């Protein structure tokens, strides 16, 4: 009998706290929801939170791609109800192979928080991903032209970052989401974002928001879609993850899939960074303490 070999650490489970957008229920995504969920099962995921975008709550905010598909706010709401019903059916259908959490991804603009609360009361989601995609009703992650408009509207880059993190804070306090989506998405179209994130006014807000996330025991979505968008680090960036780590903030990977091809994309790369930073790779489950 030889020496007992040291126990191999188990490979981290494949999970996604944020994903499952589908072309069936979102005009900037692809594929049917059932095919996206089947892709998670086939690729060996233990669980996935399916978190479709909440619908626009007034017609002026209907995104261009939804308008082009002929939808207004009311039609988006109707589709959102069908999304929930379908996701619940698929949760049951796949329950022996894959745990599916059925939720949605919020917005944080004026009016969005009330709408998100109303959807939560009506649909009883397993989890909400709290996200900020626009500031002053202008999307910050869609195109350089819109980003520039948001910068001008806010009164400069520093002011835009501050306004973004202030909106996020309001959203955290009000919705208390189980998952916080792509924490520093505001940096996507700013090539000088490392400097911006280090500004004292911005850094203070980041730390305040992370303290809030830690106290609420929410899970930070380590959003791997950043890599596919040409970023060298996930959302949040490494500097923010280091601040999260010292606060004991819980993290889990989110592939933010918008179609079957995105399922599990760049997973190893994201996990490597989390392990380097010292995060546990036994991922917390949405809604757990
Ligand atoms: Zn999307
Ligand atoms: Zn998002």
pLDDT score of 260: 98
Q: How many CA atoms lie within 13 A of 131 on its CB side?
A: 31
Q: Which ligand is nearest to the CA of 28?
A: 1
Cα-to-centroid distance, 157 and ligand 2 (Å): 21
What residues flank ion ligand 1 with Cβ within 5 A? 21
Among candidate residues 284, 260, 216, 208, the one with its CA nearest the CA of residue 13: 284
pLDDT score of 2: 46
Cα-to-centroid distance, 229 and ligand 1 (Å): 13
As a whole number of angstroms, the distance between CA 123 and CA 120 comes to 5
Cα-to-centroid distance, 272 and ligand 1 (Å): 25
What are 41-73's pLDDT values in tens digits? Answer: 999 999 999 999 999 999 999 999 999 999 999
Cα-to-centroid distance, 211 and ligand 2 (Å): 22
Neighbour count for residue 199 (Cβ, 10 Å): 15
Q: Which ligand is nearest to the CA of 105?
A: 2
pLDDT score of 11: 81
pLDDT score of 166: 98
pLDDT score of 287: 86
What residues flank ion ligand 2 with Cβ within 5 A? 131
pLDDT score of 64: 93
pLDDT score of 232: 94
Cα-to-centroid distance, 131 and ligand 2 (Å): 6
What are 194-217's pLDDT values in tens digits? Answer: 999 999 999 999 999 999 999 999
Question: Is the model's pTM score more than 0.85?
Answer: yes
Q: Which ligand is nearest to the CA of 130?
A: 2
pLDDT score of 9: 57
Cα-to-centroid distance, 7 and ligand 2 (Å): 39
| Residues of the chain predicted below pLDDT 70 | 1-10
């Amino acid at each position: 009998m030889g020496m007992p070999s040291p126990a191999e650490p188990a490979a981290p489970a494949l999970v996604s706290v944020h994903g499952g957008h589908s072309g069936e229920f979102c005009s900037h995504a692809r594929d049917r929801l059932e095919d996206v969920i089947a892709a998670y099962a086939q690729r060996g995921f233990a669980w996935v939170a399916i978190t479709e975008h909440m619908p626009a709550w007034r017609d002026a905010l209907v995104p261009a791609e939804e308008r082009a598909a002929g939808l207004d706010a009311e039609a988006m709401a109707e589709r959102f109800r069908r999304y929930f019903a379908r996701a619940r059916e698929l949760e049951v259908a796949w329950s022996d192979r894959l745990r599916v959490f059925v939720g949605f991804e919020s917005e944080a603009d004026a009016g969005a928080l009330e709408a998100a609360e109303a959807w939560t009361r009506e649909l009883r989601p397993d989890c909400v991903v709290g996200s900020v995609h626009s500031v002053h009703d202008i999307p910050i992650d869609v195109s350089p032209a819109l980003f520039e408009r948001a910068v001008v509207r806010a009164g400069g880059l520093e002011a835009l970052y501050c306004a973004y993190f202030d909106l996020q804070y309001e959203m955290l306090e009000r919705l208390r989401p189980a998952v916080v989506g792509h924490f520093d998405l505001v940096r996507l179209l700013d090539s000088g974002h490392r400097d911006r994130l280090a500004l004292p006014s911005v850094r203070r807000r980041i730390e305040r928001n992370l303290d809030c996330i830690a106290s609420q025991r929410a899970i930070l979505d380590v959003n791997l879609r950043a890599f596919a968008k040409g970023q060298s680090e996930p959302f949040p960036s490494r500097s923010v993850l280091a601040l999260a780590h010292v606060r004991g903030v819980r993290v889990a990977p989110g592939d933010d899939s918008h179609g079957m091809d995105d399922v599990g994309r760049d997973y190893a790369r994201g996990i490597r960074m989390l392990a380097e930073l010292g995060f546990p790779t036994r991922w917390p489950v949405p809604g757990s303490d």
